Structure 1
């Protein structure tokens, strides 16, 4: 009986020792990464401190422009036209308003002895006090450079609806008489333009009717 008890005690002690030896191995299931490995993994790819040399945020320069067909090669240089040397006329064309190739013609004549240049389209605006207003916008992206000589005016065609639409809308009500002002392209800061009256083809004053934006076309020699 004593031998049997001693044998059981020996077996129990062996089992306890085996469990004690296996316990730490269960919690340390795999090797932990070294501190050097963790530092490398968290750092990742280093962030560059300087921007790439091939990238720039500067606005590209515009490409040089060329003269329009109205300014042939060899045209002598001239100063920009100013309001003080220009005589403007605004003529409403005959026919059904707003349905022809042009509704009106804007003419510019150089009254000075020396030529001057128009670099772009003139700007015409019609308004009633601080109320409704309409103005010109180029009808084409064609570049304009005109050498304006004394006695050789140029004409700009204007196209716009000169009667209310089917809903009765008109940008400037037809019972109002708007003030019209025209300025040359690239005006000086003190150039406030020239007041203008509209006439018919016989030179008689007429009330202008502007119901929407005025499209201005390329100039032609008169």
Structure 2
């Protein structure tokens, strides 16, 4: 093999190894950080006061209660439903890629956009009077990770019944807190 060919191969290998290690500073070289799973996360959803146009209705947050960092790559699945009846599910507001490393004791916050009031002449998809459930699953759940129930509260921590007057709840990009 000529020197030039060997130099090109070496440079390519260095670039490949550098790219593979990118974003893994919290773990040993060559190891992957496992995806965050339900047992590691403590979820809560807080209604925000007022409802000015184009602002979130609530904040969904998760605290990492595990002992090792985990990867929070993507958007969680949020669902508000009444038994087998009416439901509203979440989808990303924008298709912005999310790649976060959640360290033990740290948390993330996700803005949730939806209509919780409705119009005077219309009804809501999921009515508060039926005491709907709010469930959440992490972005990449394991095969038997069915998520967890989330209590909806106001800013003072008082329980509130969920009401969703849209078919979908839009999730903003998760942010480390």
TM-score class, shorter-chain normalisation, is 0.7 to 0.9
TM-score (normalised: structure 1): 0.64
Distance in 1 between residues matched to 2:95 and 2:159, nearest whole Å: 32
Indicate which of 57, 66, 78 corresponds to 1:124: 78
Pairing 1:216–2:171 present? yes
Structure showing greater relative contact order (alpha-carbon pairs closer than 8 Å, 6 or more residues apart): 2
Distance in 2 between residues matched to 1:73 and 1:111, nearest whole Å: 22
Q: Select between 104-113 and 169-178 the one with higher mean Cα deviation.
A: 169-178
Q: Secondary structure at the match of 2:67?
A: coil
Root-mean-square deviation over aligned CA pairs: 1.6
Question: How many corresponding residue pairs?
Answer: 150
Larger radius of gyration: 1
Give a deviation string over 1:143-183, Cα, whole Å, max 9, x none: 01110011210100000001123431211124221111100
Q: Which runs of 4+ in 1 moved over 6 A?
A: none
Distance in 2 between residues matched to 1:165 and 1:203, nearest whole Å: 27
CA drift at 1:74 = 5.0
Pairing 1:89–2:44 present? yes
Structure-2 change in CA distance of 1:99 and 1:174 (3 Å): farther
CA drift at 1:184 = 0.2
CA drift at 1:73 = 4.2
Q: Mapping of 1:58-77 within 5 angstroms?
A: 73-76=23-26, 77=32
Unaligned runs of 5+ in 2: 1-21, 27-31
Q: Mapping of 1:7-26 within 5 angstroms?
A: none
Indicate which of 159, 163, 169 corresponds to 1:205: 159
Greater strand proportion: 2
> Does the Cα contact within 8 Å between 2:134 and 2:162 map onto a contact in 1?
no
CA drift at 1:119 = 1.4
TM-score (normalised: structure 2): 0.79
